[in-house]
Amino acid sequence: MNTPAVRTENLVRDFKMVRAVDHISLEVPSGIVFGFLGPNGAGKTTMIRLLLGLLEPTGGHAEVLGYDVRSQSSTIREKTGTLLEHTGLYERLSAEDNLEFYARVSHIPRAERKARIQELLTHFGLWERRKENVGVWSRGMKQKLAVARTILHRPAFIFLDEPTAGLDPVASAALRDDLAKLAAGEGITVFLTTHNLSEAEKLCARVGVINRGKLIVVGSPDELRAKIGKPRTEITGQGFTSEILASLRARPDIVSAETENGRLLITASENTPMSPIVRFLVGAGAEIEEVQKVKASLEEAFLTLMEEDR
């Protein structure tokens, strides 16, 4: 059986009066992209610091790649790559020197070093500008270089803390594609924290949701949507009067009914067929052009979870 990439049992970390991580028990299988989601201050970054051995747990137990975070943290740092909240790049140095430094840190042999740096800079489209000081680069380029540094020593596991934060949509999408390719191509386990739920939906095989230090739920995005988000039906047409809305809301199988930009949005209980509802609407005088069943997004599931946990 494969060793899980991350395994924690009742992991706790206190900062004076604040409990930043509260009895988290989690297992992340190897070879997947795992999304760790939560609002600001939920405990995501503290969790990464604990797993890297940068912070000592107040209680509980944690292992990364089978190594204990208390006694084997230097081995964990050796076998993992990390991109924290800030890129951590030396802005006075060139891109090449930044990678050269971390290649030396990782004891990559001299002969292999140059080839690996060239391979990564070329992959991220930065090779031509390798001699420039990183300080003059755009945020997107810096972020790409930081990702290159993270995977430079071919780690089995990488931590990415908000990797697309502050990037424009085009740069975010490009970086997301790169991460997906790298995870698949190099077989790396990725532990990703993000606020961007559509990003998590696209990249992650499994996600965990944390709020106020507590792990609320873990599962695949599909499982979370099915478990928490309720299916919704969007009906395009005309004549959705307030009487019709009131009648719909009175039905026991309807959770909510509202209009938005001329569309009627209906959230029904699970397994409720739509055809009787459509018949009712037509009978009540509404003109229907299109009926579309929409799956709940991960964002909706996330917001529901946050609401329930309040």
Partner 1 sequence: MISDILTVLWKEAREYLRQRGTVRGTFLTLGIPILILGIVMPLQFGKAWVESPVSLIAWAWIPLFLAINVIADSIAGERERHTLETLLASRLSDTSILFGKIFASMLYALILTFLIVAIGIITVNVRFFGEGITFVPLNYLAIGITAAILGTGFAVSAGILVSLRAATVRQAQQTLSLGIIIVALLPSMLFTILPAGMKQSFNAWIESVDGELAVILLFGFFLILDVILVLISMKRFKREKLAVE
Applying CB under 8 A, does 158 fall inside the site for partner 1? no
**8 sits in which H/E element:** strand 6-15
Applying CB under 8 A, does 246 fall inside the site for partner 1? no
Contact predicate 80/49, CB 8 Å? no
Nearest-angstrom CA–CA distance, 205 and 220? 6
Applying CB under 8 A, does 112 fall inside the site for partner 1? no
Which residue from 186, 110, 111 is spatially nearest to 148, judged by alpha carbons?
A: 186
Contacting residue, 47, 67, 82, 267, with partner 1 by CB under 8 A: 82
Nearest-angstrom CA–CA distance, 160 and 194? 9
- Between 7 and 113, CB nearer to partner 1: 113
Contacting residue, 93, 245, 254, 286, with partner 1 by CB under 8 A: 93
**Which one of 60-68, 89-97, 202-210, 231-239 is the stretch in contact with partner 1 (CB under 8 A)?**
89-97
28, two tokens: 């992340």
Applying CB under 8 A, does 97 fall inside the site for partner 1? yes
C-alpha neighbours within 13 Å on the C-beta side of residue 40: 1
238, two tokens: 């005309």
Give, as ranges, the residues between 42 and 61 that touch partner 1 (CB under 8 A). 49, 52-56
Contacting residue, 36, 67, 102, 240, with partner 1 by CB under 8 A: 102
Quick one: CA dihedral 190, 192, 198, 201, positive or negative?
positive
Contacting residue, 30, 58, 72, 106, with partner 1 by CB under 8 A: 106
Interface contacts to partner 1, rule CB under 8 A: 15, 49, 52-56, 74, 77-78, 82-93, 97, 101-102, 104-107, 133, 135, 159
